[in-house]
Structure 1
Amino acid sequence: MAPIKKYSPEQMGWAIDAVRRGSNINDAAQRFNVPRATLHNKITGKSPKECSMGPSTVLSKTEEDILEVWIKDMADKHIPVTKDTLLDSVQSIIIEKKQNTPFTKNRPGKKWYSAFLKRHPEIAERTAQNLCKARDNVTEDEIEKWFSEVESDLKKRGLSQVLEHPERIFNTDESAFFLNPKPGRVLAKTGQKFVYSCSGDEKKNLTVLITGNAAGNLAPTMVVYDYARIPPAISATYPKDWGIGRSESGWMCSGTFYEYVTNVFNPWLIKENIEKPVLLFLDGHSSHLTLHLANFCSRNGIEVVALNPHSTHIMQPMDVAVFRPLKLSWREEVRTWKMQNLGQVLEKHDFAPVFKTGLEKITVATIKNGFRASGLYPFGPEYVNMSKTEELRNNKKRKIKEKIPFTITSPAWLAYSTKKEEEKKKLLKEKELRVIQREEKKNEKANNKKTNVKKQRNNIKSTETEILHLQSDESVTSDALELDDGPLSTLFPSPMKVTHGSYVIVLYEGQHFPGIVNNVNNNEYEVSTMTFSSGKSYKWPEKPDKTWYRKEQVVEVIKPPILLNKRGFYSVKEMEKYSDYTY
């Protein structure tokens, strides 16, 4: 069997062109290292000019090219295709074509997948990263505009020469480091389904602030704890030049970052004899952009520049190049520590020594690459990896409500900050004024309500007085007319007998209420009254409404109320005559 010669389609194409230009078939085959017989067959037309070596593929070249275009397009739209998605799509194509294949249930396996990637070298496996919508909408025009504005501002202020010195260009950012990161893939006994790792609290983490410059040097690090006071057992493990921050949440806040710049970063610049002014690029988080920080930095030659919003994943060197290898190194150091301290869990007082060992593995080249890929040194948008951005459809840009200066230590930003403070104070004053107006209206309504209630009570009292006068006049007249005809008992009825447990109607502030007598003390009665419900029904309140009444306030003794339903509603017929007062 003749040996199989390996050659590319391009080599065969060059050989065919050489023969057509007059070369001998043997010379062309030897020159381009292709089989003579195969070249002869392609020239004479016995075999097609373009055909793949080896067995034919399940899908045609056109179908595989369509799949390649689809995979690239989905990746550009930030909806990457996974291996399973690709195999499912191929299975659907085969089923739709009703094609016979050697695949189980017409679904390709690992061999087809590997061969497909070899046939399409422009496609490769990558690990996808989550990207929020705001970052996904960052456009290339916005990035270019940011570089243009920053460069223009630095030129106006005579700071453009700083961009030519990598040791004077800095970036700082914080990230969370879990005390017990997931160990990843490990070795275990064959057939063992579940493998566990002693980890302690999986969610326990510390915020770490990393600062470096374009020359590849790292400034002292700061670690933030959720302590009011740092325990001596923790502070004793830290290098002398590192910073230890404190906050209630354990996250970076404006006060903690201010302490880092004033007590750690600026003294380090002086100690290392780094020429000032320096540029400090950072994201626009509220913990970084404060007025007192801007004032300190402007006095000490630290020009703070905020990166373009929602684009730190492509413009912040720490995000681009440092944090990923640092977290991998941290995970390896934690694993090593656990091997040396079997059965123990890494705690907060163990963090600094272990993290310092992992941080020392970050190379100068890694930090430099981060600044280069972010376009900060050399400075320019042409160095930024724009493949991570996705322009909006129809070239629509996000609406920016207000233009905010990027250079935090510039006069423009100080003026902007002063303006925002004044606006904030104005809003607070307006809010306080609205609260006062609300209280005044509330008091006015309450006073009007009290006035109306007093008027109603006065009207009721006057009406009662008129009725009593009318009744007394009528009684005098009837007595005068019937004095000689009736017995004495009919002219002067016997007084009411009110005892414990009697049901009565009492008069309280001009209104009549039914109730029951709970206690008697000479001419005073303790009565538990009912409340008016709806229609002509009454009910006992959940909390007894007990009050002492004088004898003249007890209007009459009545029969026990009649229960109307299971919900506790009663009917009091004697109250019908007083209905004008109760409604």
Structure 2
Amino acid sequence: MPPKRTQLKRDSIEQEGRVLLAIEALQKQEITSIREAARRFNIADRTLRRRLAGRPQRQNTRANSHKLTQNEEESLLQWILSMDRRGAAPRPGHVRDMANLLLAKRGESPIQTVGEKWVYNFINRQPELKTRFSRRYDYQRAKCEDLKVINQWFDCVQQTIIQYGILSEDIYNFDETGFAMGLTSTQKVVTRSEYYGRRSVLQPGNREWVTTIESINASGWVLPPCIIFKGKNLIQGWFDDLPGDWRFEVSQNGWTTDEIGLRWLQKHFIPVTTSRTLGTYRLLVLDGHGSHLTPQFDQVCAENSIIPICMPPHSSHLLQPLDIGCFAVLKRTYGQLVEDQMRARINHIDKFDFLAAYPNARVEAFKPQNIQNSFAAAGLAPYNPQQVLDKLNIQLETSTPPGSRPGSRSSQTSHFTPKTPQNFIQLQQQASSIKAFLKRRSKSPPSPTNQALNQLVKGCEIAMNSAIFLAHENGQLRAANEKQKQKRTRSNRRIPNEGGMTVQECQEAIQPPVEAVEPPRSPLTRPPTRPILPPPPVRRKLPKCSKCGQEGHRSDHCPQR
């Protein structure tokens, strides 16, 4: 702590001690005059009078710049603890959204919002909360950062671009990435401070693997994806509500194969990029996966003026644009969407759920600016190897984010008409009116009635805040229930698989055949109608005697009776 700040703290403590001694002397009637007590103990007369009136010390008083009231922050704290106990600790973004929701439900105009660092300051004020990372270590990444190897690769790229006259608009990068359908992304969550280490978060049970093949262009656009599911047949319901140029494949384990990679190149990449090629040749940057290094793959590339170039092993995190800027955002966004479904009590994610969430994740990941920045960070477009070489020996520095500007709450000057309060503002106005009315009637200082009224207002405010949280959660549950209803209506009809197909091809394949319309027959050639026979009569069964066992009579008319 700086010396100046330390001295100010000492002076404040010393002044507080003198104030307490002056109050004690007045209470014991050792000094009868407030002005005399202030003079003897060397304190301000106004300060002593305020403390005698019941005002607390400034250091112990809540700051005026807080957006949320004490009761609202307490309700938010209880919501965070409740979510954490249920295994769904919220992210800082969720806490900010709930704080903004409380502000929006107040009834103020204009609606206020909290700042960027509000959640950080709120957590620091609450000793029961702390942020933790829930990171999954389910991958292995080799770190091969050899300057010589990377320099040689960039020299090869430059020679290829110069030799074939490849434009930056004709540079592509493609790769596949895998998803475990039911895994959420690792992220920072708000949890109880008593926990040590990383906080575990509940995740859905499905671990089925799905692979997607993505390709991006250096000018900032993305090709339609190719989705590979585990299975033997294509399902008609997969193709519902998706663009017609999306492609689906199936494999035994949900991974890509040599055949799938070759079909993607012939039926997907080449038809889409041919019409958008500006030069003669296209440069295709790819990693050293086995499905990319087959003789058939190279032959098709040579026949269509495509120059494939492979990166050095274990260097895709430095040289591949998809790994640098797109796949991380894609998986993080998809994991957040899965987490939102988990909070809505959906504990099993299937293929239909994946297809409902994946398009939204692609929109967030494959933005034009993000794609261009990825190519620039990889040193490919524009060509700048130093962008990668500087990362090998770089020392990162984290800048301090700007502080949020405290907002001032506007005073409520409008005339208030007593009525049943519906939100926080009306509740405060009603309480102020009642307090003013009691003060005018009693003409006395605050009494236990005011204290009881404050407790009643606090209880009503907490109930209102809880109702806001419950209404928000119910809205999420209703939306999730509607998605489940729509998913159950989708078709599970199997489509014979002969090498994958696009959405448009599937729609053409499932169209019902056009039936031939027969000409109407003339009355002369009309076939005779069969006569309608009456139904056969119903024969009732004869009664049977329970004594002699013979049919035709009952026990009360039995001859043996």
TM-score (norm 2): 0.42
Higher RCO (C-alpha under 8 Å, 6+ residues apart): 2
Tell me which structure has the larger Cα radius of gyration.
1
TM-score (norm 1): 0.40
